[in-house]
Structure 1
Amino acid sequence: MILLISDLHLEEQRPDITRAFLDFLQHRAPAADALYILGDFFEVWVGDDAISPFQREIATALRKLSDAGTRLYLMHGNRDFMLGKRFCREAGCTLLRDPSVVELEGHKVLLMHGDSLCTLDVGYMKLRRWLRNPLSLFVLRNLPLATRQRLARKLREQSQQQTRMKASAIVDVTPSVVPEVMAQHGVLTLIHGHTHRPAVHRLEVNDQPAQRIVLGDWDQQGWALQIDQQGFHLAPFAFAP
């Protein structure tokens, strides 16, 4: 059995989400052969050298699950694209490229965070290309910590403001891009997060039935996709009291 989650946006200001995630790790995740976290795991990440006690607590909880036998995989999101190898070593996670093609319970699946599919948001796509450029990442990682923190706050505020102003279709996945990307990777199942619009979308890829599964964000409730011998099961669950 495989579990996939995304968009927890963990931060100290939301202890309810942290409690829900730690409860998930303790009671549900141990039954899984693998847990995939598809981006925006943390609300912000300015570098592995700036890990806080709160973030180290999360790493310790993940390491405990990994040591117990559940394989852990982590993918960058648009909020935490500076997560690095140091955190993954502490947490017992394998860092996945975005996109990645994997086999899950006999199904060939394309995994993505999802932001690269929002091609109508021209301004964001331009910023994303700049931020993910290896040279830009090198420069960012070598900025003083205080500068990185100020830049992260500024980017976060701009993102929230611009998202409120943009039309719904612009900040969602571009439908015409999906079958093209799936055909390029030779898959009939795509799983991603980012949009906070959990759903299972049916489509065709090269005249074959296909599906795009969108993971939900953790805000008022949690979301998880379970893959087992019976198929794909996307469902919400209530936060523990």
Structure 2
Amino acid sequence: MILFISDLHLQEDRPVLTAAFLRFVDGPARSARQLYLLGDLFEYWAGDDDLATPFHQSIVTALRGLSDAGVALFWIAGNRDFLVGDAFAAAAGLTLLPETWVIEDHGRRIVLVHGDAQCTDDVNYMAFRAQVRQPAWQRQFLAMPLLQRKQIIAGLRDNSRKDQAGKSYDIMDVTPQAVADVFARTGASVMIHGHTHRPALHDVDGKQRYVLPDWEPEAVPPRGGWIAIGDDGVIARHAPDGSVLA
């Protein structure tokens, strides 16, 4: 199988969420030949010099165990963890991919993105994204002490929550034109992405757009799950308990 997950938003003060991820790693992911992490695995990532914390080490160790077991791991950055770099990749045994990536499976071109770059109606976010994805901005930010970076990120997260409270779901969703542009640019017939926390399967002029869920195992009912492509080429959405969704 090929598996796809995103938007876990792992953080040290969410042990139930972490446990759910580790069960996935020790369970379904062990049967995969490839696992694609499509962004926001972490609630935030302040830089690879934060690798030494016990919590981050536990996640890296779990990923490394998968890699060592023969599962090929791939990473596309999200809007929360775009500062993951080469040191993290080497420790976890995964390959960093650009923000748009195409794979071929059973004669189809499948385009993978996190999804935030396609939320083009959210003008303020797009301006912020353009700034923080610049290499010069990242070099300047990563040159700051780790504690200072975490304080800045905490402020940005607080501002983001306040900003989102005043936005409609439609503004924070992908736009049809941005989706059409990705399909046209890549020649893909299938798209898989996360970011919006609105899991679904959409028909886009005969093409398929799969949206991954965010993970909230403590919600009622629990949210989470993954997308799998079986050895027969069938694409299936899976609930947190592993059952196949319609």
Q: TM tier, shorter chain? A: over 0.9
Q: Is the 8 A contact 1:2 1:104 kept in 2?
A: no
Higher strand share: 1
How far has the Cα of 1:105 moved from its partner?
Answer: 4.8
Unpaired segments of 5 or more residues in structure 1? none
What's the counterpart of residue 178 of structure 1?
179
Which residue identity does 1:217 align to in structure 2?
D
Q: Distance in 1 between matches of 2:76 and 2:158?
A: 23
What's the Cα RMSD here? 1.2
Q: 2:215, 2:108 → 1: CA distance?
A: 26
- Give the aligned partner of residue 46 of structure 2: 46
Which of these residues, 224, 227, 230, is aligned with residue 225 of structure 1? 227
Match for 2:211 among 208, 211, 214?
214
TM-score by length of 2: 0.92
% identical aligned pairs: 45
Residue 160 of structure 1 is matched in structure 2 by: 161
CA distance, structure 1, for counterparts of residue 106 and residue 19 of structure 2: 29
Partner of 1:14: 14
Is this contact kept in 2: 1:40–1:77, CA < 8 A?
yes
How much does 1:104 deviate? 3.5
Matching of residues 52-201 of structure 1 within 5 Å? 52-201=53-202
Q: Secondary structure at the match of 2:239?
A: strand
TM-score when normalising by structure 1: 0.94
Partner of residue 26, structure 2: 26
Return the letter of the residue paired with 1:55: H
Q: 1:238, CA displacement in angstroms?
A: 3.7
Instruction: Name which of structure 1's ranges 55-64 and 171-180 shifts more when overlaid on structure 2.
Output: 171-180
Cα shift readout 1:143-201 (whole Å, capped 9, x = no counterpart): 11122011110111111111111011111111222112211111111110000000000
Aligned length: 235
Please state how far the C-alpha of 1:138 moved relative to its aligned partner.
Answer: 0.8
